[in-house]
Structure 1
Amino acid sequence: MSYVLISDTYPTRDQLASGANHLVVDGLASSASTLVCPFQHHASKPGKKILKYSPTKEDERIRQSLKLLKTVRDDFRTADYAQSFNWSEISQEYNRLQNSHAHLPSRDLFRSRRRADCNNVDLFMADKNAYEEAYQMTNGSLLVYWYTDLDADNNCLATCVWSSRDIARSVNSLPAHKEAASLAAGSYVHYHIDRYRIQWRTEDKSFDLTPIFKYVKLCRLKLIADDHSDEKFAQRAVIDSRGNTCKNIKTVLETHCPLLTDPTAASMVPTPYLCGGMLQTAYCVNIALKSTPQSEITYDRESMIMSDKGTMSLDWYPERRPGAQCTRPIVILIPGVGGSSYEHHVRSMAKLLATGNKKGSGRTPLTSSKINGAHDTDDFGDIVQHIIKSYPNTLLVALGFSLGANILTRYLGELKDKSPLAAASPCAALLTWRCRALAGCQELSERQRFQPNLVASIKRSVERNADLIRSSDVGYDVDAVMQTKRMSEIDSLLIAKKCGFKNCWDYYRAASSTQYIQYIRTPYLAINALDDPVTPYRGIPLDMFSQNPFTALVLARHGGHLGFFSGITPKIWYLEPIKEYFDVFAFKRNRLN
């Protein structure tokens, strides 16, 4: 099999719109898959350049040598780049064109899996404009550009060869490049970039491809799950790649969730300027109530009066349908402490969902003096039963954030195999009191960075409902609450006092969901970041996840607390992996039924 580099070839709009994966070029069989350089090299036009550089004879030798590029293996789109092409033949050609001059061009690789519904025309035109802009503005220093056709799984590989790494960096701020980059989230299931420096070795007259940036490998996800089989899990009738019934969640993830387990796709590469847990968390707090194209939705609100006469609200998106007509699975989202359905990550996750706003949050009026803590699952249980009663023909899945994840974990463990949920996923879960204790050790930094916003949110709710809270038999000190500066103080004055705990630390121990993980009999995928300043990695009970075939934990190197922002323009990374996971247990299953 050979793949040929072709220059000066344009696909037509009709070819792109029809979903054509490769181009038919004179001299090639119609069935040939090709490496295509679809954009012509034009003479550099006069005008403003972003750098003063003129291509050298050495650049031209590199360009000419790479015209002989061919693949030597079928899986080149995902395999080791250095082992995928005929570098020895290219080295011979380069050696023929020159004697001993050493050169260090830079090569950027873009590996991707394109969405089935990708707009190929828009993607091609943005790519074309970005290429022409880069070639003109760098005075021809973009030596070679090509991309492959798609394989059966829609994987693609693209390559840019630049005269130097500095030149490659210089195009990031150009308008057409930004426009093309903005299409990435909507065009690809996943993508990542590898960078190499091409160096000529005079001693053996061959090219050496040296990785410049191995950060993607460092950002690969770590999966912790039980290998043992469970016949009750097998009753869910999820089939693996060999046609056998999956008997644990690990097999399901490895078979159906490549964004969480595939070595070429399972990585959370943070936004370059948000590479630490503090920065990720701070950005999450800053963007919490802002509207973006990713999160711009309008809810249909439903209010519920609970048994204690308290009020909770369900925010639906899209609008509710009559129960008998609604058969699509419903996702229930549980916000964290001080959070609501209006937070950016909650709105971004909304497809067809019911988002539960706790009493007094999310602009829900407080009509009862009862204040629930992280150990109280009654309200969530009432919501689930209300939805089941209203929509008896639907499957339910749930996603909890932070403290909401703790409530979800306890709920599943309390019900064991009687849980009505088809699947669940906690994100950044406060699973143990030790997590909170470790975070408490960091309160000096937390007090300056994150606590003011969180504490202010709780205070606003208390202030709005001060008269009702004071009327409680518990004897809350509202004035003391309004003077607090830390969450631990609020927890001591409100939750611990209401529930009869000595202080917040006794409350955290009682609220821990660790002991419930072993009893969970619902597919359960937890996602946490190693640099989470609120849920420190050292406090996560890793051994619990390796002892229950229903539970799995995915750890990301970066992400902070509820951040997980990736891409040049920050977008929440976990949206697609969680959608992929829920698709296995609810959406695909629902379509088959």
Structure 2
Amino acid sequence: MTRSTASTVIPPEIFRSSVKSVVPSPFFRTWPRLVSLAHEPFMPMKIEFFPSPLMADCTNPKSIVGLLIEAATLIPTSQYLLGLVLFVLIFLYNFLEFHLFRDLLKGFRGDQVTLTFNPRSHIYEGVASKCRIFHGRYLATPWLSNPHFQTAFLNFFGRPPVFNYKRQVFQIPDGGTIALDWLMASDIGRGAFGHDISEDDLAPIVVVIPGLMSDSSSAYIKHLVFKIAKRGWNVVVSNHRGLGGISLTSDCFYNAGWTEDVRRVINYLHQEHPKSPLFAVGTSIGANILVKYLGENREETPIAGAASICSPWDLVVCDRFITRRLIQRFYDRALTIGLQGYAQIHQTVYSRLADWEGIKKSRSVRDFDNYATCLVEKFETVDTYYRHCSSASYVGNVAVPLLCISALDDPVCTKEAIPWDECRANRNIILATTRHGGHLGFFEGILGDRLWYITLFPSQYCVCFCIFSCLVT
């Protein structure tokens, strides 16, 4: 087999210039003979080039792929597994919004609580400026260092205190029924539960309004109720219609902006206990209902002070947010399943007033509202319902001291819906935001046995200035 060759003749002038340009100057100093060769008369030289098999293979795409595959097979399988594990961990760290490394780099000092308020607010001067917790930091429990763990742990492993309520069945003029569950401060002291408020009991009464599909048995509600009662205040949970083990006794349902039940309960409590200061705490949808009620009534309310925890504020914005990312869609689906379960309990009413087949096939909260809420409440569209029920447009009318608490990483009620300017313009409102906390989570401590926002309720400043504040624990 003969080998093909290619030849060319290089003129002396080109060879000399090539040697000078290619060979660095140190070589000329080291090898004088090479330099002299560049200046001596030189005969034409014939150089033969032989094609390299390696170069031929490199020009073949199939050969390149084969070499890469062969090289890849030389890497141990354990290295691939390690790389895969690292990739999955990095993906989950970002997907679940962990902040453990950030907390570690900051020395586990937490982040400053941010206050938004009107500079001329008498509430800030009288209350918030004296609250150490408002000027401190919030550090999430290290092993719950993402908003989704915070939210899930509260709902599934919240370890609520053990106690029993005293139930009062409250009738609404339209035929509806509400369960009012009481926990007295005296119950905590006696270690026994179920006592009535005595006539000479002048302790403040706190009305707690739960979130969507929550009632007095929910873990975070029991944490909040027990903490307030332990401080010497009487607490009553106003359960939504159809929840807390109470059947629907009318064709009227509660919804995200239904304030009539709260209004009647508060007026009733004021009539029954006129000497006891009334306060209110709303959580999630309950916070939206509470703020909307305060904005509707303005000065015409017996409430002396209120607190809103993790309110959705603008339901249109939250509706768009909860369907934006994959992780948020899990919450959307979970809430939908809860609403479908609620409808299943009251199927006889829903099947008569709403689209029962549509309810069963709903895949999102928006679907459920389209097939159920809008039909029952006579709203033309879902967005019309959301705009009507959003509390953000009522913030400017609130005329009593109101403390609002929100986490900026809330996976359900997005920070995009917070009415920052309205809160800043209203002298009666103080908005406290934390960088982390999830939705109603705010777990702190190495054991995750404390909820940060519960340490805000109640204190002596509440009585003096008619707002909830903190008690240093």
TM-score, normalising length: structure 1 = 0.56
Identity %: 27
| Aligned residue number for residue 225 of structure 1 | 117
Higher Cα Rg, which structure: 2
User: 1:369 touches 1:468 (CA, 8 Å); kept in 2?
Assistant: yes
Amino acid at match of 2:339: I
Confirm or deny that 1:249 pairs with 2:123. yes
Distance in 2 between the 1:440 and 1:501 partners? Answer: 21
Query: Deviation above 6 Å: which 4+ runs of structure 1?
Result: none
1:271 to partner: Cα distance: 0.7
Residue 588 of structure 1 and its aligned partner are, at CA, apart by 11
**Number of the residue aligned with 2:362:** 484
Tell me if structure 1 keeps the 8 A contact 2:304–2:401. Answer: yes
Matched, 1:307 2:173: yes
Distance apart, 1:339 and its partner CA: 0.8
Q: Classify 1:341/1:322 alpha carbon distance in 2 versus 1 (closer, same or farther; 3 Å).
A: closer
Partner of 1:81: none
Query: 1:457-493 CA deviation, whole Å, 9 max, x = no partner?
Result: 322221122113334xxx3112321222321211222
Shift of 1:440: 3.0
Q: Which residue of 2 aligns with 1:281?
A: 151
Alpha-carbon spacing, 1:408–1:428, altered in 2? closer, same or farther (3 Å): same
Matched, 1:464 2:345: yes
1:422 offset after TM fit, Å?
Answer: 1.0
Among 249, 269, 272, the alignment partner of 2:139 is 269
* Structure 2 letter corresponding to 1:250: Y
Amino acid at match of 2:106: K
Pick one of 214, 235, 242 that aligns with 1:339: 214
Report deviation, 1:322: 4.3
The equivalent of 1:532 in structure 2 is 410
Point out where structure 2 has 5 or more consecutive residues left out of the alignment: 1-102, 185-193
Partner of 2:98: none
CA 1:435–1:280: 2 relative to 1, 3 Å: farther
Question: Which of 448, 455, 472 is equivalent to 1:576?
Answer: 455
Distance 1:395 1:274, change over 3 A: same
Structure 1, residues 165-204: CA drift from partner, whole Å, max 9, x if none?
Answer: xxxxxxxxxxxxxxxxxxxxxxxxxxxxxxxxxxxxxxxx
How far does residue 370 in structure 1 lie from its aligned partner after superposition? 1.1
Please give the alpha-carbon distance, in whole angstroms, between the structure 2 residues aligned to 1:341 and 1:442. 31
How does 1:504-543 map onto structure 2 within 5 Å?
A: 504-543=382-421
2:336 to 455, 470, 475: 455
Residue 57 of structure 2 is matched in structure 1 by none
CA deviations 1:57-107 (Å, max 9, x no partner) are: xxxxxxxxxxxxxxxxxxxxxxxxxxxxxxxxxxxxxxxxxxxxxxxxxxx
What is the aligned length?
A: 349
Q: Is the 8 A contact 1:312 1:364 kept in 2?
A: yes
Once the two structures are TM-superposed, the CA of residue 320 in structure 1 deviates from its matched residue by 4.7
Structure 2 partner of 1:120: none
Contact 2:333/2:363 (<8 A) preserved: yes
Alignment partners' CA distance in 1, 2:465 and 2:206 = 12
Aligned to 1:417: 299
Structure 2 counterpart of 1:372, one-letter code: Y
Quick one: distance in 2 between partners of 1:404 and 1:438?
Answer: 20
Specify the alignment match of 1:559 in structure 2.
437
Which residue in 2 is equivalent to 1:395? 277
- State the alpha-carbon separation in 1 of the partners of residues 197 and 436 from structure 2: 42
Give structure 1 stretches of 5+ with no counterpart.
Answer: 1-210, 230-247
Q: What is the one-letter code of the residue matched to 2:211? A: G
User: Counterpart of 1:97?
Assistant: none
Q: How far apart, in 1, do the equivalents of 2:466 and 2:200 lie?
A: 17
Q: What per-residue deviation string (whole Å, max 9, x for no partner) do you get for residues 494-544 of structure 1?
A: 222222223322211111111211111111000000101111112211111
Q: Report if the CA contact (8 A) 1:405-1:429 is conserved.
A: yes
Distance 1:585 1:340, change over 3 A: farther
Instruction: Give, in whole Å, the separation in 1 of the partners of 2:207 and 2:464.
Output: 16
In structure 1, the partner of 2:191 is: none
Q: Structure 1 residue 217: deviation in Å?
A: 5.0
Instruction: Say whether the 8 Å CA contact 1:270–1:565 is kept in structure 2.
Output: yes
Question: Counterpart of 1:428?
Answer: 310
Distance 1:369 1:255 in 2: 47
Q: Distance in 1 between matches of 2:365 and 2:319?
A: 12
| 1:271 and 1:567 in contact (8 A); partners too | yes
Question: Does the 8 A contact of 2:311 with 2:406 survive in 1?
Answer: yes
Other-structure match for 1:205? none
Sort the Cα spacing of 1:217 and 1:483 in 2 relative to 1 into closer, same or farther, 3 A: same
What secondary structure, in the 3-state scheme, does the structure 2 residue paired with 1:574 have? helix
TM-score (norm: length of structure 2): 0.69
- Return the structure number with greater relative CO, CA threshold 8 A, min gap 6: 2
| CA distance 1:549–1:348, shift in 2 (3 Å) | same
Q: Which letter maps to 2:451?
A: I
How far apart, in 2, do the equivalents of 1:216 and 1:323 lie?
Answer: 47
Q: Distance in 1 between matches of 2:392 and 2:429?
A: 12
SS of the equivalent of 1:273 reads: helix
In 2, distance between residues paired with 1:587 and 1:377? 21
1:305 deviates by: 1.3
| Deviation (angstroms), 1:430 | 1.2
Q: Is the 1:438–1:536 contact (alpha carbons within 8 Å) kept by the matching residues of 2?
A: no
Indicate how the Cα distance of structure 1 residues 551 and 487 shifts in structure 2: closer, same or farther if over 3 A, else same. same
Partner of 1:232: none
Amino acid at match of 1:506: T
Please give the secondary structure, in 2, of the residue aligned with 1:526: strand
Contact 1:402 1:428 (C-alpha < 8 Å) held by counterparts: yes
For 1:19, the equivalent position in structure 2 comes to none
Assess if the C-alpha contact under 8 Å between 1:329 and 1:587 holds in 2: no
The one of 184, 202, 214 aligned to 2:106: 214
**Shift in alpha-carbon separation, 1:466–1:337, aligned structure 2, 3 A:** same
Provide Cα deviations, 1:285-326, integer angstroms capped at 9, x if missing partner: 323xx644xx22210010111111011110000335345232
Query: Aligned pair in 2 of structure 1 residues 500, 412: CA closer, same or farther (>3 Å)?
Result: same
- Find the aligned partners of 1:409 and 1:332 in 2 and give their Cα distance: 13
RMSD: 2.3
